[in-house]
Amino acid sequence: MNRSSTSGGGAGDPYTAVRAARGNWPERSFLRSLDHDLLRELSEAGELMEFPRTRALAVEGSSATDVYLLLSSCVKVTSRLPGGGDALLAVRVGGDVIGELAALDRKPRSATVTACGNTPVEAIRVARQDFFDILTARPQVLLQLSMAVAEKLRTSTRRRIDYRSAKPLVRLARVLTEMADDHGTAPYGRSTVIGVDLTQVEWGTLIGVSGRTVEREISRLREQGLIAKGPGRITVLDMAGLRTLAHPTGGGAGG
């Protein structure tokens, strides 16, 4: 296995970086589900890299099959639209794995992954064969990877259903709730800051509406005192109220 610990984008010991970042990963994330021995084995199989904002980790259509273990910050997952422009498919944060599909089926990358946080992304790049060696030798890693992929598919399915059954305000509330749970921090006590810098068009593609509709629905959430909007971030002021809006009693199509 490749035991290199440095790269053109950064330098340092991968497992030291893993231990420093582990406490900030969401509880249900792929990396958080692994014990320290498995994390050490995975991290020492790759190289530690750093990606500044707007730098791509993976490019749609590329034949690369490396896997990236995200340690910190966040990335956008986007795909090209037939008529031009990009659709935002997901946001991934520290604790997630990206590039696993191309590694599994050896087909071209299905999406572009770009650093988008307010701080550089730290990630460990693991070559496909090294990753597969660990999956073969450590069934627990394979099991947790399968669960992570299944959760991504469930989220994608839920959003497709939302496109048909829920009003834009409800869709936005659901995505904001997910973002706050998975990517939010609470430096001011009760308020939760979602430090993911997305444009209104990107929010729109995430929930299947136009950027103008997102602008209108964000204004409605602000008027209700549920969120505040600032440069590069959205702050959830009333998480309980946002959850109630996201999942109204009696069905998902209310708003």
**pLDDT tens digits for the chain (255 residues)?**
443 333 444 458 999 999 999 988 888 899 999 999 999 999 999 999 999 989 999 999 999 999 999 999 889 999 998 888 888 888 898 999 999 999 999 999 999 999 987 789 999 999 999 999 999 999 999 999 999 999 888 888 877 777 677 899 998 998 899 888 877 777 666 788 887 778 888 888 888 888 899 999 999 999 999 999 887 788 999 999 999 999 876 444 444
CATH architecture of 166-246: Orthogonal Bundle (1.10)
Q: How far is Cα 89 from Cα 232, in angstroms, rounded to an integer?
A: 19
In the sheet with 86-93, reading across from the earlier edge strand, the strands are 56-58, 112-115, 74-80, 86-93
Burial class (CB in 10 A: 0-12, 13-18, 19+), 132: middle
* Domains of the chain by residue range: 6-159, 166-246
Whole-number pLDDT of residue 178: 84
Whole-number pLDDT of residue 37: 96
Provide the CATH topology of domain 6-159.
Jelly Rolls (2.60.120)
Whole-number pLDDT of residue 11: 55
